[in-house]
Structure 1
Amino acid sequence: MNRVDPPQEHLRWLRQADGSGWAGFDVRGWPDALWLLHGMFVDVELGQRRRLTWSELAGRAGGLAPAQMDDFPHPQQWGFDAYSDHFSEPVHEGSLDVESWDGLLGVLQDAACTECYVFICEMHTDDWAGGGEFWTGDVSELATWVGRGDDDCTPINIWAADRSWFVYTDADGLATYVGGSELLIRRLRQDDRIEIISARRSA
């Protein structure tokens, strides 16, 4: 990936949709969309761990996972505490976990457009005067991406150069929004590395 000056045409589009983007840009209105729920893990034996899904934890707590959501999902809506000491690796805040990241990239690499832009917001660069960072390249180059800030997070925003798909992880969020074509979203639903919940198509 190559760092670039803010692409003005894209920056205008992003800001028209969601203001300054200090915690990331949230662009809606796609043909289909979903939320990728960030993973939580427990140790099962030495050197091994197991992912606990939100649905599984909701069942243990006597809760019920919603069918779809407009706003960012939060574990409290499922009836469990994502920050419990029970987890060896609690829910990732502001970043996808490795398994979900790999699942997302696996689908995006097969999209019609793989040329993409990446935005890292000020909250992750810790440069409040700089307006964040923009990068560009191919989706395949993101496979080894780690955050460019001190907290080593996955990117806040990724979107296709032709704007056919869009990814948004709020800097404080526990889920990642993905919007795009019905085909792209269907492929994400079929990937067993990720846990998803539908986002309303109007959102």
Structure 2
Amino acid sequence: MNRAQNPDPGASPEDRGRGPGRAGVPRTVAARLARLACRWPIADAGEVEWLARACGNRGPTAYLPRARPDAAWVLHAMYVHESGPGGTTGDAHSSPHRMAGDHFLPDTGPPAGPADALVVGGRVGRTDRPGPEWHRLRWAEQCHRTGEPPVPEGLLPSLWCFTDLLQTGSWPPGIASPSEGSMDRDTWQRLTALLVRHGGGPDLRCLAYYSPMVLMGCEREHPHVREGLLGDASVLYDTPDTEFTPSNLWAEDRSWVLATDCDLMATKVVGPPALIESLVTDGELEAVRLPWAH
């Protein structure tokens, strides 16, 4: 599979028009669908079976593999308004979340906090920086004032890491939460760029699996898998057939795997130590090793 042999149907001026396309589909959406079909066509559903066997489950939310042989969690980006956490008005991020018990490991209990509380104002699915007046807020910066690490021991990266912010049942209006279930655009672009550099190059064949949860319950019996080149990963971010990045993305040679569970606010990356070290030490990403979730 070579990108030079696959001209991009989404690049023509006609496809970039704003009028209706075939079958009444808006031309911009039709162009993105055509580009997706060209760059990342549907693959054999059996391609994901090895991951199911390795993880011991059917991947309803994502397959979370153990270290191969190393692992790190890339924390999804969070932003703060320039006037501070409480310095803006309105509810620009109004998806309600319920703090349930699936955000921590099976052998641990939930921490003290608003258990089973409805949390308003969090972001779900693909997201962008809210605007120019919003600046990156690292998990480590937010957690520094509480004396806790970004992800407390025994937890997975989720709402439970921010119980001090959520005592009122809502994210502060001046904080745009990490996205749940999907990487944000900044994180996706940086992580895939580092994979190109340290994980096999732009022409590495990869596979992408979307769980039934991110496909609104579809494809439960037949896993939804696509195949493409790592250098074309940007195409997957704006695909119109889902609002999430892939639940799993992996190299054809299985040297590394990404996993984004729809209940979590981080993406697990497993692979060789050199690759994982490049993520943990990168100045743009915020990636941490979690020994209890290695």
The question of 1:163 aligning with 2:247 is answered no
The question of 1:131 aligning with 2:222 is answered yes
The question of 1:55 aligning with 2:155 is answered no
Looking at structure 1, the residues matched to 143 and 156 of structure 2 have their Cα atoms a distance apart, in angstroms, of: 17
Change in CA separation of 1:70 and 1:26 when aligned onto 2, cut-off 3 Å: farther
Q: How many residues align?
A: 200
- What is the CA-CA distance between 1:18 and the residue it aligns to? 3.0
The question of 1:104 aligning with 2:199 is answered no
The percent of aligned pairs where both chains have the same amino acid is 26
Q: Going by fraction, where is strand more abundant, 1 or 2?
A: 1
Residue pairs, 1:30-109, within 5 angstroms: 30-44=68-82, 47-60=132-145, 62-65=146-149, 72-77=156-161, 79-81=163-165, 84-109=171-196
Tell which deviates more after alignment, 171-180 or 65-74.
Answer: 65-74
Looking at structure 2, the residues matched to 76 and 154 of structure 1 have their Cα atoms a distance apart, in angstroms, of: 22
Which fold has the larger relative contact order, with Cα–Cα distance below 8 Å and residues 6 or more apart in sequence?
Answer: 1
> Deviation digits for residues 6-28 of structure 1, max 9, x if unmatched?
1x2x4331221231111111111
Query: CA contact under 8 A between 1:42 and 1:52: conserved in structure 2?
Result: yes
Correspondent of 1:175 among 266, 276, 289 = 266
Q: Name the residue aligned to 1:5.
A: 44
Q: Name the residue aligned to 1:152.
A: 243
Q: Name the residue aligned to 2:31.
A: none
> Deviation digits for residues 141-176 of structure 1, max 9, x if unmatched?
112323657651111100010000000000111111
- Secondary structure at the aligned position of 1:162 is classed as coil
Residue 94 of structure 1 aligns with an amino acid whose one-letter code is: G
Change in CA separation of 1:80 and 1:197 when aligned onto 2, cut-off 3 Å: farther
What is the TM-score normalised by the length of structure 1?
0.85
Looking at structure 1, the residues matched to 180 and 151 of structure 2 have their Cα atoms a distance apart, in angstroms, of: 22
- What is the CA-CA distance between 1:51 and the residue it aligns to? 1.1
- What is the CA-CA distance between 1:129 and the residue it aligns to? 3.8
- What is the CA-CA distance between 1:178 and the residue it aligns to? 0.3
Q: Name the residue aligned to 1:141.
A: 232
Give structure 1 regions of 4+ aligned residues with deviation exceeding 4 angstroms: 66-71, 147-151
Query: CA contact under 8 A between 1:125 and 1:148: conserved in structure 2?
Result: no
Q: Please, what is the CA RMSD of the aligned residues?
A: 2.6
- What is the CA-CA distance between 1:199 and the residue it aligns to? 2.9
Looking at structure 1, the residues matched to 293 and 261 of structure 2 have their Cα atoms a distance apart, in angstroms, of: 19
Query: CA contact under 8 A between 2:143 and 2:150: conserved in structure 1?
Result: no
- What is the CA-CA distance between 1:138 and the residue it aligns to? 0.8
Residue 183 of structure 2 aligns with an amino acid whose one-letter code is: L
Residue 59 of structure 1 aligns with an amino acid whose one-letter code is: H
- Secondary structure at the aligned position of 1:135 is classed as strand
Residue 43 of structure 2 aligns with an amino acid whose one-letter code is: V
Bigger radius of gyration among the two: 2
Q: Name the residue aligned to 1:122.
A: 212
> Deviation digits for residues 88-127 of structure 1, max 9, x if unmatched?
5222000111221112101111213621100011111121
Query: CA contact under 8 A between 1:30 and 1:201: conserved in structure 2?
Result: no
What is the TM-score normalised by the length of structure 2?
0.61
